[in-house]
Structure formats: structure tokens, C-alpha cells
Amino acid sequence: MTRFPANDSSASARRRWRPDQQWEGYLFLLPSFLGFFVFVVLAVLMSLGISFSVWGLTGFRQWAGLLNYQQLMRDPVFWQAFWNTAFYIVTLVPLQLALGLTMAVGLNQAIRGVLFYRLVYFMPVVTTIVAGAIVFRLLLSTQGAVNVLLATASGFFEVPFSAPNWLGSSQFSKVSVVLLTLWKNTGFTMVVYLAALQGVPRELYDAAHADGASSWQRFRHVTLPLISPTTFFLFIFQMIGAFQLFTEPFVMTEGGPANSSLAVVQYIYLTAFRDIRMDKAAAMAWVLFVFIFAFTLLQNRLQKRWVYYESE
Amino acid sequence: MQLKRTMVVGLLLATTLILSACAAIAPQSGGEQPAADEKVVLTWAFWGSPAEKESHERVAAAFMEEHPEIEIEFWHQPWNDYFTKLQALWASGDPKVIPDVAFLWPTPRYAAEGVLENLDPFVAASGYDLEAYWPGLLESAKFEGSVYGFPRDIEVNVIYYNKDLFDAAGVAYPADGWTWDDFTAAAEALTQKDANGMTTVYGLAAEGGKWAKWVNQNGGAIFDDYVNPSQCLLAEPAAVGGFEFFAGLMANGVAMRPADLNQAGGDAAVFASGQAAMILQNTSRVSAFNAAGLNYDVAVAPIPAGGKPWNGAGGAAWVMSSGSDNKEAAWTFIEWLQSDGGGETIYTTAGEIFPALQSVANSPAFMTDAAPANKQAILAEAAASGVGGFGYFPEWGELSGSILGPGLDKLWAGEADAATLLPELCAQVDQFLADNGYPK
């Protein structure tokens, strides 16, 4: 403490604007702020402008008002991509949370080789998605390992079975993308949950145990409420991730067949760089932003009902 | 205190460096003005594998030998990045970085953006012969009636067949003028299944995108007008008949479904491994099949009773940037690239293209002793080239990539039948055309 004798003032004094003492601080921020300003702030503002204009390969042509947005609303492919993305959100978010939590609880026990299992389950997170997709494509091909396994199982239990075309049919393509994404992302959810589980105070379990709570009751009434801030964070994080899903459908199915696995961000990319429609693509990006923002805001409001903070 | 000052100076330096890095590109290259006796430097943009790049470099060397006053610089990118980066260069608007001559597809899309030079005046001034091209081919490089590029090659789709599999099944090799019925019978005889009912050899493996051949052979069409369409015609009986033939082969299990074909590595892979006895593909497969020493030949595609041969005329084209600052030299280069004895001959001799110029196709550059033996089949299909494979308006790529192609996926997957799918699909196409202001 003696090394900072000047830091004795009250909180209000510390908050006071003292440009003569702070300019070096801002100077330190400058390099990173410049990058942020040019490549983020400026780009975001420009895309808003582009979405309200006719914008060709060589730049601005004329203002278009709401034209791009109106075109978007009439575009059946956009709506299909939109519903596909909704499917990804309602399947991926709950499944990632449930699986991640289950894995975390399992690997929070004192079992032999727990570090090895944690490593194995986390490995997909740091694996190249393209390599993962190649393996998944092999597994899920019409005569691949998954179908062979299913066929063998159905033969054993004597249930009629027709091999699903995981990648080539519009009913199953989204499921394939979900499987790959789950494999890739659930390890991350697990690690965050593991950290949260280890933060739950031991004495609360002991107290619950003394009160005669079963292990399920301890999980339900001690663990779940205490890790709810983590659940909230992961919920928002994974929801935004699912909204912005791009690589997984892109490498797995290329959005097909019949656009059945096309995600919104992938359609934005195609519109911008295949169709050279920067204006329509910018409009789409802003519609996507409004949805993400609205859902995040909604969750933020709803959190009072189920997220428990110890300090409250 | 001294340390602090040093750090502040260092930070300022770093910031200046970042800023100057952003701004440096233009002035640096803009400062050099070519002296009067210096060579004209052209930037030449193309995509391709390392092998294709080598071939481009040979072409450039041959050109520079004939034209020492012009120096060719390369701008080479892999296919995946090529268009994105090229678009970024054009968007920058800086003539110093925009390539003078580029390889491009689809030409009308870029011509509509105003980044391509209208070649009509150069053609008129030099007397360049547009009749030398295969019929209908130049249509794919026109915009509003003017030529904006010269297709380097023409996509000629023929039937490749595996002679060993034909011999083993006791099926006669395809004959000129064979019909859809002949084809179906051969494909059925060639298809083999194992004890579990899994197909081990398919009669045919063809990409879904090859449908236009069957539709046009049968007298069908995509649009009433390919430049300024007012109506989708794919729901007409002749077009539906073409789709039914193609989808029927898949439904009967003699043709591989395109999604399975994709998973199996594409038509070249399944043909080389003997999983398919025939494929429908353009001439780009020849060099790979020859290198693999396959026992194969090519044949004309079968035609329906009362139908006619048809090949979709299209190919990526050499174009000139409207922002080029050396247009005369760029024209000299393009004209040489697209000449008998120039670039066309070198590419054809290398076995990389089927040439856009009829005279080169009929020259020793193409008519070699190498396989396939039946080169007449390729010439015959090329002679049957015409419009009908795609639209020649700027929005075609979007329509094809987002609506038409994905819509037909359901047909190839066996999830819909042609007679019900195509009226729905045509309604969507008509809606797209109306939304984009067609007919104009």
C-alpha cells in the first residue's frame, strides 16, 4: 500500500475529470482506438448508410430509402434462411446448455483421469472446423458409419429402417449442421460450467445434506440457482452465436439442399459477394442486428425472474 | 520520468506507423510515371491451380516475345478468393491496382456494374472476326448488345464412358445418334448392386446442374428471352419432359443422385474408381483421365425421339477493365490471347481447354492422337451450341444460385416430382423477374 501514497482521495475525487493528468492514458489507448474506429465504428456506420442506398461495385449510386428493406421482406430465400436460423437457435442453445452442464457435473466428480476426460471433451473447441466437417461428412454420408450403425441396430431390434440421407435431404440437413455445431461448441459450455460449479460453496451442500435434501434436490435447489448467472451468460452468448452461425452450414452442406440449411449470415455473404448486392446484404445485416439486440434485451429483462445473484 | 517520455514517443511513433500504413498504398505507386521509351506494363488477372498458373506464364512469355513493348505482370489468386479480391480492387477505384485484363464470369454481371470496357470499338477498328467463335458463345459475354469479353473456352458436355465396364456388362459402345431410350437401356444394363442391395456401379453420374442439356434437347427452354426475360418456361411440357428423364434415371437407381455424387467426391472420382460407367461432363476431365490411364472414350449425348442435339454455349471470358490506363495495349494482348496461333493454341495444346475458336478446335492443337479417340463427338456437340443454358442478364447468378438451383435440389433428392415442382418454381422465378423490373 505504501507504494501508492497519492491514492488516498475519496471515490468522488477519483472520478473527477483531470485532463492534465490523463492525456497520456488516452495516448496509450490511441493505437487500439484508431483501429476500432476505422474498422468497426466507421464500417458499422457505413453499412447503415449502404443499406439505405443503391450501392454497386464501384460505390454509391443514389439514395434508395427503404427499397432494400422492402426487397428483403419479399425475398422468400431470406425468410427461409431466417426460419433455418430460428431452428438452429431453438435446438442449439438448449442442447448446448443441457449437454455442457451434464458433462461439467460429470467431470466435476473425483474420478480417475478426470483431467484427461476434460481435455478430450474440450478438444473439439480448438479443432479446425473444416477438419471436423470433413469427418462428419464421412460419418453422415448415405453409406457412412452412422447409417451402418443405425442399420445394424435396427436389424438387431427388428425395427423397419430406411437410412436417412443426412446431408442430401432437406429434412435432415439442418440436423447434420446441429450435430456438428454441438460437437464443436459444447466443450466450451462445459468448461465455463465447470468453473461455475467449483465456485459453489461446499458448506451449502453440507447444510442441505444435513437438512435431508436428496442429491437431486441439492442439484435443483443449490447448484442450479447458484450457477444461474453463468447459465444466463452462456444463454446470451450461445444465442448470439447461433444467430451468427456461418462456418458450420457453409462447410457442412453449403446451405443446401434446396436452401434447407442456409443460415442468415451465409445468405448475407452470398448476397454481398456472389450477387454483388452490398446494399441488400447491408440491410440484411441490420435486420439481423435488430433481432439479436431485441432478444438480448428481452433476456436481460427476464433475468430477474430466474437469475440469482449472491450479492442481492 | 525519462522512461515515461520514451514510452510516449514510442507510442506516437507506432500510431504514425499504423496511420501511414493505411495511406501509403496509393501515393507510392502513383509517383512512378513511365518514361516514354519504357515498356507498357499490363496487369493480368486469373485464377487457377499451380499447373494452370504455369500455363498462363508460358502464354505471357510467348506474348512478350512477339510484343517486346508490353510487359505482363500477374495477379493470381486461388478460385475461392479471386472474385472477392477482384471486387475489392474495383471498389477501390484506383487504376494503379486494378488489373487491365482479367479472367471473369459471369460477364454481364460485371458489365452492368460499369467496371468492364465495351470492346465493340476495338473490334470495329481492328476487324477482329467474331464469326470465328462457336455459335451462341459470344452471347454469354454481351451486355446490352455489346461485346464485353471473349470466352477463352466453351463448355462442351459429352458422355464419357468406361470401356471396361461396357465390355464386362456386354453393352455395345454408344453410337452416334443414340436416343434417350438407348441410353436408359444401356444405363440399366450397366448398373450393378451387391448382395445387400447397395449399388456398386451406377449407369450414370451427373451433376444436377447439367439439366439444361436434357431440357433443351427436348425442345424446352428456361425463358422466352434470355437477355430480357418476361416469363419462365420451365413448366412447359417439353421442359418438364427433360427434367422427368433426368430425375427418372435417378428414381430408377441407374443414375447417382447429385447429393450422393457430391459426397463421393464428384464425377471425376466416381468415374475413375469405376463406380459410374458414364458421366456427363465438359472436356476439363480429359487430362486427368489420360494421366490416370483410364480405358475410356467419349460420345455425343443421347437425344430424345423428335429432339435435337444441344450444348449450352458459355465459358469464362477475358475482359478489359474500364479503369485500365493502357487500353490499347490491353486490346493487343486480348486479341493475341484469342487468336489462332496465339493464346488459344497454347492453352489447347496444353490440353487445358476446348477452344472457343472453331479453327483452333479443328487444328492439330486439338486433333491429337491422345485419348479420347472420338474427338468428332466433341466437335459435333460444340457445333450444336446455342443459348438456353442460362440467362444473359446481370441478376442471373442470384436467380440461379438462390432460387432455381436450390429449387431443383428437391427434384434431384427425389423429394418432389417434376410436374408439381416446376409450376411452383416457375412462379418464384416470375416473381423474381418482376421484382427486378423484367421485362425492361
Q: At what angle do helices A278-306 and A228-243 cross, to 10 degrees?
A: 160
Domain boundaries, position B113: 37-155+314-373
Q: Which position has the higher pLDDT, B194 or B412? A: B412
Q: Are A229 and A157 in contact (CB under 8 A)?
A: no
The β-bridge partners of B318 are B103, B150
d(CA A274, CA A268): 10
Whether residues B228 and B355 share a domain: the answer is no
Whether residues B180 and B300 share a domain: the answer is yes
Instruction: Give CA separation, A199 vs A189, A194, B428, in Å.
Output: 16, 9, 56
A39 in contact with chain B, both atoms CB, cutoff 8 A: no
Compute the average pLDDT of residues B56-72: 96
pLDDT of res. B4: 58
Whether residues B425 and B290 share a domain: the answer is yes
Low-confidence winner among A119-133, B24-38, B216-230 (lowest mean pLDDT): B24-38
pLDDT of res. A70: 94
Whether residues B216 and B351 share a domain: the answer is no
The answer to whether residue B93 is domain-embedded is yes
pLDDT of res. B25: 41
Q: Grid cell 500504413 — which residue?
A: B21
Residues B103-148 pLDDT 10s:
998 999 999 999 999 999 999 999 999 999 999 999 999 999 999 9
Whether residues B419 and B278 share a domain: the answer is yes
Residues 6 or more apart in contact with residue A270 via CB below 8 angstroms = A255, B401, B402
The number of angstroms, rounded, from the C-alpha of B383 to the middle of its chain's C-alpha atoms is 18
pLDDT mean across residues, chain A: 89
**What does the angle CA A24 – CA A27 – CA A33 come to, to the nearest 5 degrees?**
145
Residues A152-205 pLDDT 10s:
888 888 888 778 889 888 889 999 999 999 999 999 999 999 999 999 999 999
Residues B314-362 pLDDT 10s:
889 999 999 999 999 999 999 999 999 999 999 999 888 999 999 999 9
pLDDT above 90: percentage of residues in chain A: 66
Residues B3-61 pLDDT 10s:
556 655 555 555 555 554 444 444 344 334 445 567 899 999 999 888 889 999 999 99
d(CA B107, CA B317): 7
Residues B224-280 pLDDT 10s:
999 999 999 999 999 999 999 999 999 999 999 998 898 888 999 999 999 999 999
Whether residues B264 and B405 share a domain: the answer is yes
Whether residues B205 and B289 share a domain: the answer is yes
Chain A hits for B398, Cβ within 8 Å: 271, 274-275, 277
d(CA A44, CA A41): 5
Whether residues B176 and B275 share a domain: the answer is yes
Query: Domain map of chain A by residue range?
Result: 17-63, 71-306
Residues 6 or more apart in contact with residue B302 via CB below 8 angstroms = B159, B174, B178, B179, B180, B182, B183
pLDDT of res. B79: 86
Compute the average pLDDT of residues B359-385: 94
Check CB contact under 8 Å for A259 and B402.
yes
d(CA A35, CA A37): 5
Check CB contact under 8 Å for B413 and A76.
no
Check CB contact under 8 Å for B410 and A170.
yes
The β-bridge partners of B101 are B44, B320
Whether residues B198 and B323 share a domain: the answer is no
Compute the average pLDDT of residues B360-378: 94
The answer to whether residue B420 is domain-embedded is yes
Chain A hits for B15, Cβ within 8 Å: 30-31, 34
Q: Grid cell 459429352 — which residue?
A: B158
Whether residues B408 and B308 share a domain: the answer is yes
Chain B hits for A27, Cβ within 8 Å: 8, 11-12
| Separation in Å, CA of A74 to nearest CA in chain B | 9
User: How would you classify residue B177: left for phi > 0, otherwise alpha for psi between -120 and 50, otherwise beta?
Assistant: left
d(CA A81, CA A279): 18
Residues B289-307 pLDDT 10s:
999 999 999 999 999 999 9
pLDDT mean across residues, chain B: 91
The answer to whether residue B125 is domain-embedded is yes
> Which pLDDT band, with edges at 50, 70 and 90, does A4 fall under?
very low
Domain's final residue, options B323, B339, B373: B373
Q: Are B340 and B113 in contact (CB under 8 A)?
A: no
Whether residues B201 and B338 share a domain: the answer is no
pLDDT of res. A131: 93
Architecture of domain A71-306 in this structure: Orthogonal Bundle (1.10)
pLDDT of res. B32: 44
Residues B175-208 pLDDT 10s:
999 999 999 999 999 999 988 778 999 999 999 9
Reference A275, options A7, A19, A75; nearest CA is A75
Compute the average pLDDT of residues A77-103: 96
Residues A276-294 pLDDT 10s:
899 999 999 999 999 999 9
| Separation in Å, CA of B193 to nearest CA in chain A | 14
d(CA B432, CA B172): 46
- The shares of helix, strand and coil residues in chain B, as percent rounded to the nearest 5, are 50, 15, 35
| DSSP letter for each residue of B218-253 | TT--SBS-SSS---B-TTSHHHHHHHHHHHHHHHTT
pLDDT of res. B402: 94
Q: Give the total number of structural domains in chain B.
A: 2
Residues B238-249 pLDDT 10s:
999 999 999 999
pLDDT of res. A8: 47
pLDDT of res. A85: 96
Domain with residue B81: its CATH number is 3.40.190.10
> Which pLDDT band, with edges at 50, 70 and 90, does A119 fall under?
very high
A273 in contact with chain B, both atoms CB, cutoff 8 A: yes
Residues A5-45 pLDDT 10s:
444 445 555 566 666 667 888 888 899 999 999 999 999 99
**What does the angle CA B357 – CA A275 – CA B90 come to, to the nearest 5 degrees?**
75
pLDDT of res. A109: 87
Whether residues B235 and B342 share a domain: the answer is no
| Separation in Å, CA of A1 to nearest CA in chain B | 21
The answer to whether residue B140 is domain-embedded is yes
